[in-house]
Chain A
Amino acid sequence: MNGLTPGFADAGLTPGFADPVLDGQATFRAVLEAMSRPGRVQRAGSALRPPAPLNQAAAAVLLTLADADTGFAHDAGVAAEAWLRFHCGMPLVPGAQAAFVLATGTPPALASLAQGSEEEPQAGATLVLQVNALTEGTGWRLIGPGIETEHRLHVDGAPAGFVAAWAVNRASFPLGVDVVLCVGDRLAALPRTTMIAEG
């Protein structure tokens, strides 16, 4: 299903991508760039009007990557759930089994999400985490693959204890969770390889 499928207006829903093929491609490249260069802020979903509390970037990421093959868990309420499931068709599953977890409020503990296995670490979850602001050049010092020396990112609205929980996540490499931080139509990613030092 996509934004052009008749019926979303009848269901009281705003549309998804105006051009699912090209908007999906552009969003994917933004997420690929974000995951390849941790902490660099990309734009996605500027034209979307998803229901609150879902922000544009988080909506774009899920429209692009989630579908009937990806279990989904969230805290975003009935309106966002109806919108996402109409446009993506993803099944709802318990948080520990979800490929994609959307957190608009306090997220579940990283360690409670799917970690993958020694042989299949790619089964570790992707946490789409809505925050208040992303500012480059200040804040956390990020080091690791994708970063030439270090990259600085200030995350306003990161959950309490996140840096300590992230250190545990990183130490379990190659298992672990990858995070996409979203605010408005902006996003940045933290793959499980990234080391965070507080600024």
Chain B
Amino acid sequence: MSTTLEGYNFAYLDEATKRMIRRALLKAVAIPGHQIPFGAREMPLPYGWGTGGIQVTAAILGPTDTLKVIDQGADDTTNAISIRRFFTRVAGVATTEHTAEATVVQTRHRIPERLLREDQIIVYQVPQPEPLSRLEPRRTETKRLHALADYGLMHVRLYEDIARFGHIAKAYDYPVMVNGRYLMSPSPIPAFDNPKMHRMAALQLFGAGREKRIYAIPPYTDVRSLDFEDHPFRPIRAPHACALCASTDTYLDEVITDDAGGRLFVCSDTDHCAERQATAQEAAE
């Protein structure tokens, strides 16, 4: 461990804090989709940089792990690089940009395109863990609604969308029901990614730093996007092929290419796109 920063405990957090987070994580797994409060610590990165996800990652990470950090699908944003460097310094763990090589993936705003495996854990950075927060700002009240599994407010909100727009106008953070019991925020991932959560082989952990809450989805657990019989949930993507790898089934970002309004669509998952391009090149050679 000689490569880690002197003067810090392994993975930055003190052991009492890790125990507290670990106990919360185990109960979160036992009660899928239920938000559990935890005594979040100040981290050396500002809120909005994923302090909740970072604390969850710090509580689970060990020296044999390989960590991947993505932000909007990319490994090379300032946010992703900072978090990766942080864990290299305080835990000395190996890092990777390849989803297939990672044992722990910390993410903001995307789920990798490559199917995650049983030997992987995905940690989501969550800004607002309460799916009902915009409909009912009082935490005492949302706790009661979860206790009663009373999610009528959310159904009304989605149905109002259908009445106004003809479809549910929620492209991100589209609410899900976990194991048929708890309404859960999937964090601000595109609704396109929601189906990947359903019966995923990997364990899914969620950390909200500012709101100080943790929740989880065990492997192979039912995760259903809320919808209506006459308006079934449909994951949306831009109707284009990736300009770099020609994929027609991945989530795309629109990129402005010049001042004249030129634009193209490319995969948001940069590792997946690069892998597809490499495979295509090999096949051509």
Contacts and interface: CB of A to CB of B under 8 A. Distances in A.
Contacts of B182: 174
A36 interface: yes
Choose among A29, A70, A173 the residue with the greatest number of B CB atoms under 10 Å from its CB: A29
Interface stretch (B78-86, B216-224, B251-259): B216-224
Contacts of B28: 122
B147 A35 contact: no
Given A146-B220, A173-B181, A35 B10 contact: no
A124 B15 CA distance: 23
A195 to B, nearest CB: 12
Interface residues of B, number: 43
A25 B147 contact: no
Nearest to B30: A191
Given A29-B60, A193-B179, A145 B221 contact: yes
B61 interface: yes
Contact of B219 (A31, A118, A146): A146
B32 interface: yes
Interface residues of A, number: 38
Contact of A69 (B20, B22, B31): B20
Q: Which of A70, A117, A122, A193 has the most CB of B within 10 A?
A: A122
A21 B90 CA distance: 13
30 contacts: A2-B15, A29-B62, A32-B25, A32-B26, A32-B203, A36-B218, A36-B219, A37-B118, A37-B219, A64-B22, A65-B22, A66-B19, A117-B147, A118-B148, A119-B147, A121-B27, A121-B31, A122-B24, A122-B28, A122-B36, A145-B219, A145-B221, A148-B199, A148-B220, A174-B31, A174-B34, A174-B181, A174-B182, A178-B27, A191-B218
